[in-house]
Homo-oligomer: A and B are copies of this chain.
Amino acid sequence: MGMALNKEEMSEKVLVIAETLLNEGGMDNLKARTIAEQAGISVGSVYNLFADLDEVHRAVNMRLLDRLGVAGLTAMADLERQGVSDAEHRILAMAGAYVRFVEAHPGSWPALLAFNRRRATLPGPDSYQARLDELFDIVAGVLKAGNFELDDDRRALAARALWSSVHGIVTSGYVAKSDSRQADEIWQQIELLVGVFVRGLERGGAFAHARTKPV
């Protein structure tokens, strides 16, 4: 007989199952009964471990974000080892890590940032936003090493804008993900964005701006 799992171990098992379900069939595939069946417990027990499916989903997202962060840092470390310190190359490596991550998580990624499950993303006691900030910080670190003329606030803003832009390109690109050449189109856009962005920063464009927000 297998040793009975304690609460934490069973939670872990549930999360592994949940991640697989999400990856395979997206948000709609995360069902309480399926989890219970695959984990060898009852529906009620799932609700004993987690308040509701939202909490399960959030927990899975947490781990995904963590792994995405690790992937980014790993990519940076790899370039470091190769002695690459060029900002454009490093940013492209970050973007590459992100694209690979997305491609490796076709089902769970759509619900990762645009978390649309039940209620509109309540702030949550957890550090959801904190993990996103960590990702921004990695990009900001690359920008800092790039020696652009940016103060800390401005650099943070640029990092968020750049990262969000890459995210937007990937998102838009995968809406109609029927074609396989779509992947190529995405990467072309990213290369263009990063190239133009870096050159724009080098020109100091980040400072020359006026408030033009329309009412």
Chain A positions within 8 Å of B, measured between CB atoms, are: 26-28, 89, 92-93, 96-97, 100, 110-111, 113-116, 118, 120-121, 123, 128-129, 132, 154, 157-158, 160-169, 171-173, 175-178, 185, 187-193, 195-203, 205-206, 208-209, 211-214
Contacts and interface: CB of A to CB of B under 8 A. Distances in A.
B187 A213 contact: yes
Taking chain A's interface residues, is the majority helix, strand, or loop, or is none over half, making it mixed?
Answer: helix
Contacts of A111: 116
Q: Which one of A187, A188, A212 has the highest number of Cβ atoms from chain B below 10 Å of its Cβ?
A: A212
A204 to B, nearest CB: 8
B177 A172 contact: no
Contact of A191 (B113, B199, B209): B209
Contacts of A189: 157, 160-161, 164
Given A113-B171, A164-B173, A214-B93, A196 B201 contact: yes
A92 to B, nearest CB: 5
Instruction: List 6 A-B pairs, minimum CB-CB distance, nearest first.
Output: A168-B168, A196-B200, A200-B200, A165-B165, A199-B205, A161-B189
Nearest to A162: B193
Given A164-B171, A199-B200, 9 more contacts: A113-B172, A114-B171, A157-B188, A161-B190, A165-B169, A192-B206, A196-B196, A196-B200, A199-B205
Contacts of A97: 214
Given A114-B175, A123-B176, A193 B212 contact: no
A131 B208 CA distance: 34
A157 B192 contact: yes
Nearest to A96: B214
Contacts of A208: 195, 199
Contact of A118 (B28, B113, B121, B185): B28
Contacts of A100: 214
A161 B193 contact: yes
A83 to B, nearest CB: 16
B89 A175 contact: no
